[in-house]
Structure 1
Amino acid sequence: MNMKEQDILLPALDRLTEIAGITAKILSYPSGRGKNSDAVIELIKGQQTSILEADVKTEVRTATLDNIILRQDQTDGRRILIAKYIPTPMKEELRKHSICYIETSGNCYIETRSMFILVSDQKTAQPKFNEDTKLWAPAGIKFLFAVLQEPEILNTSYRNMAYASGVALGNVGNFITEMKRDGYIIMGTRLGQPTLILENKTAILDKWADMYRTVLRPKQLVGKFRFAKKEDRTNWHEHTTQYDDILWGGETAGEILTGHLVPEIYTIYSNSDRFELMKRLRLVPATNGDVEILRPFWNQDTAELGHGTVPPMLAYAELISSLDSRNREIALRIKEKYVG
């Protein structure tokens, strides 16, 4: 376990004691090949004790969750995820699989044979982006989207990269420097000329999908709605060709691009006035509605579009990071056919 993980584990256990009155002891730090956890901890409350295998993470992503769920299913030992911040949808998924968790703020879910504790009212801020992590702040996520769509723009002018991604010209140099530093791009040659080459595109795309969902997507959300009439919900696809200012994303894009997904959430990307969209599509506001409207974040003049959908890469990202197994299966079909 490295120092960053230590700086998460110890404060989280101290906060758990403070908030829930549970005494936590670290029994061991497994090491070497085949280790199944970062630490083994014992939780003590009164006369009750529970031993859990802990996964300590500086960053929680969809792949992180997949690995923890897989290990939970393969072993008899109970698992606990410990992190600074865990997105709400991931907390729900962890509880669904009876996997305990603690945030350093004190929010936690502990369910074992001998104890049950759920704390969710402690204020937790999403990780802030400092000067070294601009690439995963909102503007950087926009820039990476353009690069992932067309890696060759890395070998064009900064002005062109700024235009293609819709970010400020002054940010492009910082993004390129950070990508080089993190090994996302390397210097090669083509026809005797120095050339920037995108490395590990699949790994970058999967991280991009998680970061888009948690960092940028919430900022693009206009609101949630529902169809006023049942027949409008049934015939949602008729709007695919009827209006050219509407692009379908998420599950609706999955259905259009593959024909193998019945949407439960209807995702619309549009720059049009919300009230005009509500009128045309016969939508009414609803806090927990199954229709969501978002603003596009990409340069629509340069992005590759599907058939009335958002760019297929974005549809893939929304579905692969949704934590729904049916959506993720469709995401892989989109990736194979459209993304590569």
Structure 2
Amino acid sequence: MNKENIEHNRTAGNEADILRQAMEALKALAPLEYEAEPVRGLRDQRYDYIVRARVFGKEFAWCVEVKNRLTKAAELQALINKDKTRHPFLLATGYVPPEAAARLHDGGIQFIDTVGNAFVNQPPLLIFVKGNRPEKEEPPVPAARLFKGVGLKIAYLLLCRPELVDRPYRDLAEMTDVALGTVNGTLTELVQKGFILDMGKKGKKLLGRKTLFERWIAAYPDYLKPKLLLGRFRGDGDWWKDIQMDPALAQWGGEVAAAKLTGYLKPGTVTLYADKNRLADLVIANRLKKDPQGNVEILERFWPPGNGFGEGETVHPILIYADLAAIGEQRTMETARMIYEQHLDRYFGQD
């Protein structure tokens, strides 16, 4: 499929235009010719196009994932996907800021964007360009209502326990402490967007869990997590290391939870999810001091304690992954990749 076909591939929509512009920007850096073929309908698909290129008499191919906008969640997904494609992985997007370009380069993730930034390590090509900026900053794309507020609580419940999709709305409202109308609106939107299949008397089924997960991860840091903050504190040294947290009181999230699951990360921040009415007990028991700049964040737990939402003293791997993605540092990205591969890849592979 040549580049003219890319432009007229209606099913690809804006993705096709981004890929065309990014490849043309790459052509300005190197004398290559290319053909692109869309990839559709593959189970566990990790890319959108196969691009075959020729340069200096050498032929090679990329598996290309196209993102309209680059988020930390998208960076992390690229880190997970880069070693799992049949040809070298290439990320194509609208714009890669300098700090993101550095992270992608350090993570070994090849990328191109529409304004001429690129990291290509495909012999005989070795290109690394960062710092080019768009002529005009694009306004942020408004998030769908589903991904803008407390509806994210409902989506999280379903991601952790898909069988809850068949529970009465009132039960879901009680489990998340949100209004019944919010539950109704969220479930209706999930149906409209194809994430829930309503089979009538046969009940409902959650579909596209991996896509829903990726959308949820991208929205959580901006639209839900800030609303959950109960306070910031500071503790003495590595106070968390020797504590066996009572799950009825709180559960570890973020870096501490990741360190406990993988034994890999040295936490820089401490994240706890607790019931609001037990905040004082938690602070006193662990001798925490109120500090707006402290490295201990305590957030309100927005799910009912019990099976399916995290085992023991740590929250569910989905939420650990989201916390790490929100930090977006190289060390947390690598640990998040480990969490995904050890705890989530098989889970979403069941779709």
TM-score, structure 2 normalization: 0.61
In structure 2, give the amino acid aligned to 1:57: K
Paired residues of 2:176 and 2:304 also in contact (CA < 8 A): no
Structure 1 residues 328 and 225, CA gap change in structure 2 (3 angstroms): farther
Q: Distance in 1 between matches of 2:100 and 2:138?
A: 14
RMSD, aligned CA: 5.1
Which residue of the other structure, out of 195, 218, 224, is the alignment partner of 1:216? 224
Amino acid at match of 1:128: P
- 2:142 aligned counterpart, secondary structure: coil
Relative distance call for 1:209 and 1:114 in structure 2 (3 A) is closer
Give the Cα separation in 2 of the matches to 1:27 and 1:338.
40
Q: Which residue of 2 aligns with 1:264?
A: 267
Whether 1:250 aligns to 2:261 is: no
Give the structure 2 partner of residue 310 of structure 1: 315
2:122 matches 1:118: no
Would you say the 8 A contact 2:265–2:335 is kept in 1? no
| Deviations 1:43-83 (CA, angstroms, capped at 9, x unpaired) | xxxxxxxxx97754235534345445767x955xx956223
Q: Does structure 2 conserve the Cα–Cα contact (< 8 Å) formed by 1:57 and 1:83? A: yes
Counterpart amino acid of residue 310 in structure 1: V
Instruction: Return the TM-score normalized by structure 1.
Output: 0.63
1:146 Cα deviation from its structure 2 partner:
1.6
Looking at structure 1, the residues matched to 246 and 254 of structure 2 have their Cα atoms a distance apart, in angstroms, of 19
1:280-299 mapped onto 2 (5 Å cutoff): 280-281=287-288, 286=293, 291-296=295-300, 298-299=302-303
Q: Specify whether residues 264 and 146 from structure 1 end up closer, same or farther in structure 2 by C-alpha distance, changes over 3 A only.
A: same
Q: Secondary structure at the match of 2:320?
A: helix
Q: Say whether the 8 Å CA contact 1:95–1:109 is kept in structure 2.
A: no
User: Match of 1:237?
Assistant: 241
Tell me how far 1:98 sits from its aligned partner.
Answer: 6.4
Question: 1:30 aligns to what SS in structure 2?
Answer: strand
Q: CA deviation at 1:253?
A: 1.6
Conserved? CA contact 1:313–1:338, under 8 Å: no
TM-fit CA distance, 1:249: 0.5
Counterpart in 1 of 2:13? Answer: 3
CA deviation after TM superposition for structure 1 residue 218, in Å? 5.3
Secondary structure of the corresponding residue to residue 311 of structure 2: coil
The alpha-carbon distance between structure 1 residues 334 and 317, as it changes in their structure 2 partners (threshold 3 A), is farther
- Mapped contact 1:251–1:327 kept (Cα < 8 A): no
After superposition, the Cα gap between the structure-2 partners of 1:277 and 1:263, relative to the gap in structure 1 and judged at 3 Å, is farther
Asked which structure has the greater RCO (Cα within 8 Å, sep 6+), the reply is 2
1:63 aligns with 2:77: yes
**Is 1:142 paired with 2:153?**
yes
> Relative to 1, partners in 2 of residues 1:38 and 1:187: Cα closer, same or farther, differing over 3 Å?
same
Match among 92, 100, 105 for residue 95 of structure 1 = 105
Change (3 A) 1:94 1:338: closer
Residue identity opposite 1:158 in structure 2: Y
Q: 1:135·1:178 contact (CA, 8 Å) conserved in 2?
A: yes
| Deviation, structure 1 residue 196 | 1.3
Query: Which consecutive unaligned segments of at least 5 residues does structure 2 have?
Result: 1-5, 7-11, 40-46, 56-60
Partner secondary structure for residue 186 of structure 1: strand
Q: Distance in 2 between matches of 1:36 and 1:252?
A: 38
Matched, 1:325 2:329: no
Q: Unaligned 5+ residue runs, structure 1?
A: 17-21, 43-51
d(CA) in 2 for partners of 1:70, 1:335: 15
CA distance in 2, matches of 1:199, 1:123: 35
In structure 1, distance between residues paired with 2:111 and 2:141: 21
Q: Please tell me whether residue 181 in structure 1 is matched to residue 187 in structure 2.
A: no
Deviation at 1:194, TM superposition (A): 3.7
- For residues 297-325 of structure 1, give each alpha carbon's deviation from its aligned partner in whole angstroms, at most 9, with x where no partner exists: 51446784533333454235545886633
Residue 166 of structure 1 pairs with residue 174 of structure 2: no
Equivalent pairs, count? 305
